[in-house]
């Protein structure tokens, strides 16, 4: 008992001392119905005796916390996540929902790590931005009945709410733009553990399968260092094979920049000899020569949609999970012939 008192008390500690589940403690402190009065009073008594403020915890569940993968937001994709946070802040302000944001290393996205972040922020609702929860974290979130929304993410089992770009259809459209321009041997530079990126791979493969005589090749990236440099090196190696590939759909615009540099250095004309489509519509798409043809992701809208999902989840904890997908819009550029 003394050992527990020397550190910040968590709901998991209350659950252990009271002999109940974390979910039951969470529901009691949130003043939710469905708990017997004897169990409720027992938990509140244990919490009070050990210095845990039930009143503070109940109020805290009106607030929300966004955890963002630090390796993404502090790297080249920072502008992507800045747009999402802008949408989250605006949506939370409109809805009157307290909102805070924190960076977290993905290896810290464990039940204990996430719980600590939420306790420190006094939050009861959680946005996971660019983070696919592990099976362990997902199980804990479900057991603790914590309202959770994946932002720029999807739950393959659809047990958690999520807001994301329409990655499958966006990738299908991006590849179709190359096919419609007459290309039949197309590269797809990609590489990630994330569910959203796997959806883009599926979209690419589906578009290739649906086109007569088309051939696609996945070029896997390690992302050890600069994505632009790695894409440049990988594309140069493929071109040196003289295997006849004349186009590339890239996982994001930074990769497309590296492909464009490699193609140009090889003496090929863009888009006459080699065509390129990026993804995300990042600012760098306008800085290349020619400007990148890409697919626009409305990052601000994703943030706002995530807040609407959170508000709905606060109102009905038992409603079926929902996944909101935003269409990805083709953006004309100079790396694919415009119809």
pLDDT tens digits for range 190-199: 988 789 999 9
pTM metric for this prediction: 0.79
- Per-residue model confidence as pLDDT tens digits over 288-336: 999 999 999 999 999 999 999 999 999 898 899 999 999 999 999 999 9
Q: Sheet holding 275-277: strands in order across?
A: 215-220, 185-190, 247-250, 275-277
Collapse the DSSP code of 251 into the 3-class scheme (helix H, G, I; strand E, B; otherwise coil) and give the result: coil
The pLDDT of 220-230, averaged and rounded, is 88
Q: Is the pLDDT of residue 59 over 90?
A: no
Residue span of the structural domain in which 44 resides: 11-50
58 in a domain, yes or no?
no
Are 45 and 83 in a shared domain? no
Nearest-10 crossing angle of helices 299-315, 78-95: 40
332 in a domain, yes or no?
no
Residue 56 β-bridge partners: none
Domain count, the chain: 3
Are 156 and 305 in a shared domain? yes
Q: How confident is the model at residue 107, as a pLDDT? A: 84
Are 283 and 191 in a shared domain? yes
Helix (H) or strand (E) holding 296: strand 294-296
Range with the poorest average pLDDT among 157-161, 171-175, 271-275, 314-318: 314-318
Residue 181 β-bridge partners: none
335 in a domain, yes or no?
no
Work out the pLDDT band at 7, boundaries 50, 70, 90.
low
Dihedral of the CA atoms 75, 326, 298, 193 (nearest 10)?
10
CATH number at residue 92: 3.40.50.2300
- Per-residue model confidence as pLDDT tens digits over 325-338: 999 999 999 999 87
Tokens of 304: 């706002």
69 in a domain, yes or no?
yes
Q: Using the 8-state DSSP alphabet, how is residue 242 labeled?
A: T
Tokens of 277: 């489509």
Cis peptide before 106 (omega within 30 of 0): no
Work out the pLDDT band at 30, boundaries 50, 70, 90.
low
């Amino acid at each position: 008992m003394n050992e527990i008192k020397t550190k910040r008390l968590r709901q998991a500690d209350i659950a252990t001392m009271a002999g109940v589940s974390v979910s039951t403690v969470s529901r009691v402190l949130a003043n939710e119905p469905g708990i017997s009065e004897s169990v409720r009073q027992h938990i509140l008594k244990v919490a009070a005796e050990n210095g845990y403020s039930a009143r503070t915890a109940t109020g805290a569940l009106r607030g929300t916390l966004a955890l963002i993968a630090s390796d993404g937001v502090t790297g080249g994709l920072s502008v992507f996540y800045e747009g999402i946070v802008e949408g989250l802040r605006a949506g939370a302000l409109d809805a009157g929902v307290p909102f805070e944001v924190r960076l977290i290393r993905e290896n810290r996205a464990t039940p204990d790590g996430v719980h600590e972040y939420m306790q420190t922020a006094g939050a009861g609702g959680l946005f996971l931005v660019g983070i696919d929860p592990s099976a362990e974290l997902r199980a804990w979130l479900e057991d603790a009945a914590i309202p959770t929304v994946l932002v720029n993410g999807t739950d393959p089992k659809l047990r958690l709410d999520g807001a994301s770009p329409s990655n499958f259809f966006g990738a299908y459209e991006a590849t179709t733009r190359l096919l419609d321009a007459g290309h039949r041997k197309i590269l797809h530079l990609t590489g990630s553990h994330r569910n959203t990126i796997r959806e883009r791979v599926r979209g690419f493969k589906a578009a290739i399968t649906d086109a007569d005589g088309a051939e696609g090749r996945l070029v896997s990236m390690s992302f050890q260092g600069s994505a632009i440099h790695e894409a440049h090196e990988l594309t140069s190696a493929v071109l040196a094979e003289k295997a006849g590939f004349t186009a590339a759909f890239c996982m994001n615009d930074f990769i497309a920049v590296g492909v464009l540099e490699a193609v140009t250095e090889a003496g090929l004309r863009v888009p006459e000899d080699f065509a390129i489509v990026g993804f995300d519509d990042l600012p760098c798409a306008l800085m290349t020569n020619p400007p990148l043809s890409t697919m626009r992701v409305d990052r601000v809208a994703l943030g706002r949609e995530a807040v609407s999902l959170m508000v709905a989840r606060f109102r009905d904890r038992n409603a079926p999970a929902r996944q909101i997908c935003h269409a990805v819009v083709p953006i004309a550029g100079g790396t694919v012939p415009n119809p």
